[in-house]
């Protein structure tokens, strides 16, 4: 009998090694290599020649032809449908990740109940909780009387045999993918081989039957979905459910979607009755704002097609250290260093003897470069001790030369600010070809500097004007 070959697989990135090592060559993580056999299943060697199947020819077609929109299952939960691009797509696989206790199971339970009320067959399979625990959650959410079908099972073959009995389900929720195991792999549940094999089996079922599959994934301490990244490549969509422990809101962020946009967010508010949709997230992020405090600027950002207003807070304090501290929460630390360098090089504002702390209020995360102008305004305001106008919003990208570059969707940002009661704005001068023209509203009288030095001079000039008023 041939001896089964042994190999070592990284539990972080899925790289295969022939021998054990303390550090993975693929991702650089330490102590992530686990020994797994290759006698069968995913990760095994090629099948013997006598068992090899001869391939069959497939039909080739052209790029032109009729196009059908992906059939979707609309849940009726507006924020969830927004994040998924309009609802769950039949025959697709969706991966939902988030920290423990963030509300993934609560969100999916509410979605399952909403779809069941619309006449769809929904199957909820839990590998972590008993049926009684799921029923308790449903009672707390007030959805215990819906026709959602429950099961507590971890074996993939048993799950497939169960959902194949009777009418084809419209949506199958598996909580979570790390607890599933299949007879095709000999590894322990939760390992790379088992996670990949279980996900592959469920995705194959979704593609062959047209049922939508939702897989719940744990996240690592770095915030990434645990297990091999290949699972993210296998599924059709990846959603991250985010939130801070000290805040009552949650953000459902799309990072991959083959059937819709990848930059949408859905905002929810957590309560004892479950998750509640937040139709206007700007009011949520600006709810506890102190308008007269120096170092605070309101940024008009965009999340997909939705404008969002959020407060950026900066604190510049004298430092006793040889190397001043730079701490950032909710923004890119490298981009803060760039803005500080531009302020020093082109505007004469010195931060070399000061500690700089930057925070995006409410635990919100900003990724677009349009926040450069708001960050610069908050930094100068904190350094000079001058509060910025309470009814003003800021957005614009700063180049290394000190110029302020135009950004997209300026009109939508201004409309959102005007709707929330803001009366002025600081935005780039749209001088480039094809830039969006600003007409009417608060944009008509907005301050539109071409250089960052113009904004710094305007903020510093407010001190002189105040001094003249005091005299």
Distance CA 339, CA 347 (A): 11
Paired with 296 in beta bridges are 313
- How far is the CA of 178 from the CAs of 182, 189, 227, 242, in angstroms? 12, 7, 8, 19
> Domain 78-279 in CATH: superfamily?
P-loop containing nucleotide triphosphate hydrolases (3.40.50.300)
Give residue 68's pLDDT band: very low, low, confident or very high (50, 70, 90). Answer: low
Give residue 35's pLDDT band: very low, low, confident or very high (50, 70, 90). Answer: confident
Whole-model pTM: value is 0.76
pLDDT tens profile 316-347: 999 988 899 999 999 999 999 999 999 999 99
Domain boundaries, the chain: 1-39, 78-279, 284-470
- pLDDT surpasses 90 at 462: no
Mean pLDDT of 25-47: 67
Give residue 15's pLDDT band: very low, low, confident or very high (50, 70, 90). Answer: confident
Residue 402 CA neighbour count, 13 Å, CB half: 15
Distance CA 306, CA 251 (A): 13
The chain-wide mean pLDDT, for the chain, equals: 86
- For CA atoms 38, 41, 42, 45, the dihedral sign is positive
Mean pLDDT of 418-433: 80
Distance CA 197, CA 235 (A): 13
Give residue 176's pLDDT band: very low, low, confident or very high (50, 70, 90). Answer: confident
Q: Residue 431 has what pLDDT? A: 42
Q: Residue 223 has what pLDDT? A: 55
pLDDT tens profile 211-252: 999 999 877 656 565 555 678 889 999 999 988 766 788 889
Instruction: Decide yes or no: CATH 3.40.50.1220 for domain 284-470.
Output: no
* Burial class of residue 390 (count of CB atoms within 10 Å of its CB; 0-12, 13-18, 19+): middle
Distance CA 370, CA 431 (A): 16
Structure tokens at 99: 């920290």
Distance CA 234, CA 239 (A): 14
Q: Residue 58 has what pLDDT? A: 85
Structure tokens at 182: 């299949």
Task: Name the range with the highest mean pLDDT among 27-41, 287-301, 372-386.
Answer: 372-386
Mean pLDDT of 108-113: 95
pLDDT tens profile 117-147: 999 999 999 999 999 999 999 999 999 999 9
Is the previous residue joined to 465 through a cis bond, with omega within 30 degrees of 0? no
Structure tokens at 138: 């449903």
- pLDDT surpasses 50 at 42: no
């Amino acid at each position: 009998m041939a001896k089964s070959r042994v190999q070592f697989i990284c539990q972080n990135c899925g790289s295969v090694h022939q021998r054990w090592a303390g550090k993975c060559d693929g991702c650089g993580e330490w102590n992530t290599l686990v020994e797994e056999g290759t006698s069968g299943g995913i990760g095994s060697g090629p099948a013997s020649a006598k068992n090899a199947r001869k391939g069959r020819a497939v039909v080739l077609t052209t790029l032109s032809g009729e196009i059908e929109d992906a059939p979707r299952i609309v849940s009726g939960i507006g924020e969830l449908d927004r994040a998924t691009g309009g609802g769950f797509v039949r025959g697709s696989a969706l991966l939902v990740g988030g920290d423990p206790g963030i509300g993934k199971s609560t969100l999916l339970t509410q979605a399952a109940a909403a779809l069941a009320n619309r006449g769809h067959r929904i199957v909820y399979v839990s590998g972590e909780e008993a049926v009684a625990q799921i029923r308790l959650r449903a009672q707390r959410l007030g959805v215990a009387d819906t026709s959602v079908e429950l099961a507590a099972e971890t074996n993939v073959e048993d799950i497939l045999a169960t959902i194949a009995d009777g009418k084809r389900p419209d949506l199958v929720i598996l909580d979570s993918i790390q607890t599933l195991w299949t007879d095709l792999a000999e590894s322990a549940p939760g390992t790379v081989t088992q996670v990949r094999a279980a996900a592959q089996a469920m995705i194959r079922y979704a593609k062959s039957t047209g049922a939508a599959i939702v897989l719940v994934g744990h996240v690592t301490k770095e915030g990434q979905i645990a297990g091999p990244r290949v699972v993210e490549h296998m599924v059709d969509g990846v959603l991250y459910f985010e939130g801070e422990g000290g805040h009552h809101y949650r953000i459902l962020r799309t990072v991959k979607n083959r059937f819709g946009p990848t930059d949408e967010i859905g905002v929810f508010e957590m309560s004892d009755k479950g998750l509640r949709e937040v139709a206007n997230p700007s009011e949520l992020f600006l709810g506890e704002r102190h308008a007269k405090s120096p170092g605070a600027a309101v940024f008009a950002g965009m999340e997909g097609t939705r404008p969002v207003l959020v407060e950026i807070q900066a604190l510049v304090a004298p430092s006793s250290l040889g190397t001043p501290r730079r701490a950032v929460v909710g923004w890119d630390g490298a981009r803060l260093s760039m803005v500080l360098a531009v302020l020093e090089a082109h505007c004469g504002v010195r931060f070399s003897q000061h500690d700089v702390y930057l925070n995006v209020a409410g635990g919100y995360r900003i990724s677009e470069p349009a926040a450069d102008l708001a960050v610069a305004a908050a930094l100068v305001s904190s350094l000079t001790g001058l509060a910025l106008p309470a009814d003003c919003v800021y957005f614009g990208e700063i180049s290394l030369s000190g110029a302020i570059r135009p950004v997209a969707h300026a009109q939508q940002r201004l409309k959102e600010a005007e709707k929330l009661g803001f009366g002025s704005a600081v935005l780039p001068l749209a001088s480039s070809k094809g830039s969006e023209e600003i007409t009417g509203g608060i944009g008509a009288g907005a301050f539109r500097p071409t250089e960052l030095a113009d904004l710094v001079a305007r903020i510093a000039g407010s001190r002189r004007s105040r001094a003249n008023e005091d005299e």
